[in-house]
Amino acid sequence: MLKRLLHNTVVSAIVFGLVAVLGVIVIPVIIRTWGVAEFGLIVLTRLFLASGLIGVIDFGLSEVTTQVVARAREHRDLRLGGSQILLLLLVSLLLGGVLSLAIWFTAPLIVAQFKVEPIHVTGFTSMLLATALCNLVLFPALVAEGVVKGFERYGSLRICEFLTTVLYVAATIYAAHSGQPYENVAYYFLASNLLRALILFGAAIAALSRTSVKLSLPARAVSREVMTRCLLVMQGKLVGGIIAPIQPFLIGMYIGPQSVGIYDTLVRIPRLAKVVASLLTSALLPVVSRLDQRNDPKQFNRFGETGIILLPIVTMPPFVAAAVMSREIMQLWIGAQVMSYAHWMGIMFIVTMSVQYLIFGNTLFMTRTKTQARLNLLLMIHIVIWAAVTAVTAHLFAERAFILGQVVGTVAVLPWQISTFIRELGADSKRFWRILSVHWAVLLVAALLLAAILHVMPGPGLITLALLMTVFCAATWAAQYVLVLTREQRRQISGLKQSLFGHKGVSPAAL
């Protein structure tokens, strides 16, 4: 199980990292060819996809399906698993139909609310209607994705994402060079999503056909249990996940499409960095679901505490370096168009860094409804702080006020969230905070040294920035290995390495 987890994690991180790079590359092509306002309109249409703003009310179809399949595999109760999958599929079909109809009939109102210029009204309306039709397929595809994840077929999932992204990026570059209208970029994106959905349906059917799973109507008690989990996951998305996708929506309503383009450009790299880092735990949910079913709290708690400590140690150094180098990165990436706001990208990285202390724990406790409910309450406090800060500062910073609100809200509730993890895992609170304090001190000293180097090195190129980031990461990882990790944790890492790469295979004790 551990070897499969690490394999899936590495595949997810590498492949989605390539997908993220392709997504970053295509943005300057769109902006330079069609303009910031047109880019903003493309971003707004994506909010109405299952992967966008309306995805926060998807009832956690993918996540719950993953848990259902993983539990069915652990207990060999394929009949129960089949009934739960059918229920989730029916919910996805109903939800996709209702939301598609809502978008279709409210398209004129959406156009008016976003202050779309008359020259773009026809094209933007067509993009909305196409998006509505695609959701009829994309919402059921969430269940197919959950099935693939539940069977831990992450290689197939990530290769599918990579190939469809390559096709979208290639089509967009072709559209830019052949003088096509900007609407075609949205259509190419929708086509790539539909292709991905069809591949997922095929992979899910193939995985289920190899087992004895039969889709059947669930009993009332089973339906109630599944829907309770769905509602809890959706609640978590509503109070936590809604902040990121709702901000372009609000900016489009109250400021305009051009500000949406500026905002999305500033947050794109930090947001993609956060998504890539979250992939380190993307393969974790089926493993956690199976561990939770074994009724071994000691093993579960040890696994959770180690993961929550180690993940930021691994992921934080490149994010700190990118935040310090934000102006240089923006200059190389976009150019002078949004250069005056480049430091806001560095500020946005604070959110990405903060999330590193949460993503492992959030996945870990997705199987425990009471803990998840408490975490959702903290996310509600986060939303209140975000809304207040954004409203107060909007007249000063316009679309950048939404970045400031995210940063303040995230940092304000982070200590409470970490404390919840510590308490639920029964960990030593003083030792835990002491480890984090040394970890932060190492990163702060290294960040100040990097800023000093950039100050005396004006206009570094891509190779220089890559070299600086590599040296920064290597130095901070080495310092943390010596200063942050305990002797026992270093011994565990060495044992894990020997277990994975030695000739005796993976030791069960390594988990």
Q: Are residues 228 and 333 in the same domain?
A: no
18-66 residue pLDDT tens: 777 787 788 889 988 998 889 889 988 998 998 887 887 888 888 888 8
User: Mean pLDDT throughout 74-81?
Assistant: 68
Same domain for 481 and 385: yes
pLDDT band at residue 390 using 50, 70 and 90 as cut-offs: very high
Q: Say if residue 203 is in the same domain as residue 302.
A: no
**Which tens digit of pLDDT belongs to each residue from 207-243?**
888 776 667 777 777 788 888 888 877 776 766 556 6
Task: Give the range of the structural domain holding residue 371, as residue numbers without chain letter.
Answer: 295-500
Task: Assess whether 199 and 335 both reside in one domain.
Answer: no
Q: Are residues 481 and 487 in contact, defined by beta-carbon separation less than 8 angstroms?
A: no
Residue 205 sits in the same domain as residue 334:
no
Distance CA 492, CA 309 (A): 13
Same domain flag for 2 and 95: yes
Query: Is 484 a domain residue?
Result: yes
Final residue before a domain boundary, out of 177, 210, 244: 244
The tens digit of pLDDT for each residue in 336-352 reads: 777 788 899 999 999 99
Instruction: Say yes or no: 321 and 228 in one domain.
Output: no
CA dist 61 → 123, 144, 348 (Å): 32, 9, 29
Q: Is 377 domain-assigned? A: yes
Domain membership flag for residue 510: no
Tell me which of 17-21, 286-290, 449-453 is least confident: 286-290
- The runs of H, that is alpha helices, within 35-77 are 36-46, 61-75
Instruction: Tell me: do 216 and 313 sit in the same domain.
Output: no
Instruction: Report yes or no on 251 lying in a domain.
Output: no
* 15 or 407, greater pLDDT: 407
**Rg of the Cα trace of the chain?**
23
- Boundary (domain end) residue, out of 229, 244, 259: 244
Is 169 in the same domain as 302? no
Is residue 348 within 8 A of residue 331, CB to CB? The reply is no
Burial degree of 178 (CB within 10 A; 0-12, 13-18, 19+):
exposed
The band of 468, judged by pLDDT with boundaries at 50, 70 and 90, is: very high
The answer to whether residue 268 is domain-embedded is no
- Examine the domain organization and report whether 63 and 179 are in the same domain: yes
Question: Which has the higher per-residue pLDDT, 426 or 214?
Answer: 426
Tell me the C-alpha to C-alpha distance, in Å, between residue 511 and each of 2, 139, 243, 492, 495. 6, 35, 35, 10, 11
How many domains is the chain built from? 2
Query: Nearest to residue 428, comparing CAs of 437, 419, 441, 440?
Result: 419
- The reply to whether 249 falls in a domain is no
Q: What share of the chain has pLDDT > 70, as a percent?
A: 84
Residue 266 included in any domain: no
Whether residue 319 sits in one domain with residue 237: no
Residues 212, 309, single domain; the answer is no
pLDDT score of 250: 85
Inside any domain, residue 509: no
CA pair distance 41, 63, nearest whole angstrom? 30
- Average pLDDT on 181-206 reads 93
Residue 125 to residue 109: CA distance in whole angstroms: 10
